[in-house]
Amino acid sequence: MSTDQFSSHAQSYRDDGVVILKQVLDAKTMGMIEAAYAWSHSHLTAALQDFASDPQEQFIADTGYSVKETAYLTLLRESLLPDIVRALFGGKTDVWYMGEQIFYKEGKRGTRRTPWHQDSSYTNYFGQSMAAVWIPLDPIPLDCSFEVVRGSHRGIRYNGSRFKPGDDTAPLYPVSELPRLPDIEGNRDQWDIVGDAMVPGDLMVFHMGSLHGGGATRPGMRRRSLTLRFIGDDVVWVEQSDTPHPDSSIARRAKARASGKSVAGASAGESAPAPLGEALWRSNKYLRVRPWAE
């Protein structure tokens, strides 16, 4: 499939911060995605987060940067996914891979929602050319699917959710100038929410500054998804030095990193590893995937 068709979505992506693309991943690509997900699920890391709110519920997320693994190298090199991202960025920037995140949700009584949040609340970089490619591995009905608030990447950056059971807006940073997350779920009619039923072969691309969240699952339903994150050349280091709540997954990751473990993922509470305003790609932290870095 040619990537030319995706260039027509570039303006929508810039304005809305989200596009939904139906049946753009063929069987070969879905096979590579399944292989990458299976590798990650069998090699969970120190960044593992358990968001379950019920003993009978499984709700985990794990973040990695697995560019040394064949499953991910094959997917990044041989699939159209980085090309789709480049087209949505406008077709001119190089594209770098930032890492992956897997989600697994299943429970006898169903599972809780993935709280509304912005990935940019947990990181120390920002720019227009940021993309998270969310890929479902199971059929997901509309009420259980992934959702994004249209245009929110151009608005307020809120304090992050710490995914506290019973309080989805509990702030990640106890002391911060960032405003507390609004109760989007309790006031859905006041927000321009984008979502759809999804099946394998579909994907959603959203800007990491967009407000997004995931529906609860029904009893006995399994919901697996793989998210791949990419940046372009305009993404720069920004100030983010608020101290996360000690019970948050961010704080637990920082503790694991301080103990010597290799932990990929969010860098909240850390100093930027390069001068503020400098492009991330210059740090050589990430793999350039378009054009492919030989």
Sorting pLDDT into bands at 50, 70 and 90, what band is 240? confident
Q: Do 163 and 61 meet the contact criterion of CB atoms below 8 Å apart?
A: no
Task: Tell me the Ramachandran region of residue 271: left when phi exceeds 0, alpha when psi lies from -120 to 50, beta otherwise.
Answer: beta
Report pLDDT digits (tens) over 89-107: 999 999 999 999 999 999 9
Lowest mean pLDDT among 59-63, 79-83, 97-101, 247-251: 247-251
Sorting pLDDT into bands at 50, 70 and 90, what band is 247? confident
Mean pLDDT estimate for the chain: 91
* CB neighbour list of residue 62: distance below 8 Å, 6 or more residues apart: 40, 41, 44, 45, 47, 48, 49, 101, 102
pLDDT surpassing 70 at residue 267: no
Q: All domains of the chain, ordered by start, with CATH?
A: 4-290 (2.60.120.620)
pLDDT surpassing 70 at residue 88: yes
Which has more confidence, 37 or 271?
37
Mean pLDDT value of segment 192-213:
98
The pLDDT value recorded for residue 173 is 95
pLDDT surpassing 60 at residue 265: no
Q: Do 232 and 95 meet the contact criterion of CB atoms below 8 Å apart?
A: yes
pLDDT surpassing 90 at residue 16: yes
Report pLDDT digits (tens) over 39-64: 999 999 888 889 898 888 999 999 99
Residues of the chain with pLDDT > 70: what percent? 90
Rg of the chain over CA atoms, in angstroms?
A: 18
Burial 16-28 (b: 16+ CB within 10 A, else e): bbbbbbeebbeee
Q: DSSP readout, 83-115?
A: HHHHHHTTS-S-EEEEEEEEEEEEETT-B--EE
3-state class of 8 per DSSP?
helix
Alpha-carbon distances, residue 64 vs 39, 149, 211, 264, 281 (angstroms): 11, 26, 22, 5, 18
Distance of alpha carbon 280 from alpha carbon 224, whole angstroms: 30
Residue 147 bridge partners (DSSP): 195, 213
Element (H or E) spanning 126, and its range? strand 125-126
Sorting pLDDT into bands at 50, 70 and 90, what band is 255? low
Mean pLDDT value of segment 165-194:
96
Q: Do 95 and 131 meet the contact criterion of CB atoms below 8 Å apart?
A: no
Report yes or no on whether pTM surpasses 0.85: yes
Amino acid at 47: A
Distance of CA 190 to the CA centre of its chain: 24
The pLDDT value recorded for residue 266 is 44
pLDDT surpassing 80 at residue 30: yes
Report pLDDT digits (tens) over 120-158: 999 999 999 999 999 999 999 999 999 999 999 999 999
The pLDDT value recorded for residue 5 is 85
Which has more confidence, 34 or 241?
34
Peptide bond into 219 cis (omega under 30): no
Sorting pLDDT into bands at 50, 70 and 90, what band is 275? confident
pLDDT surpassing 50 at residue 205: yes
The pLDDT value recorded for residue 254 is 66
The pLDDT value recorded for residue 181 is 98
Q: Do 173 and 160 meet the contact criterion of CB atoms below 8 Å apart?
A: yes
Q: Do 174 and 220 meet the contact criterion of CB atoms below 8 Å apart?
A: no
Task: Extract the tokens encoding 144.
Answer: 């259980």
Distance of alpha carbon 135 from alpha carbon 201, whole angstroms: 8
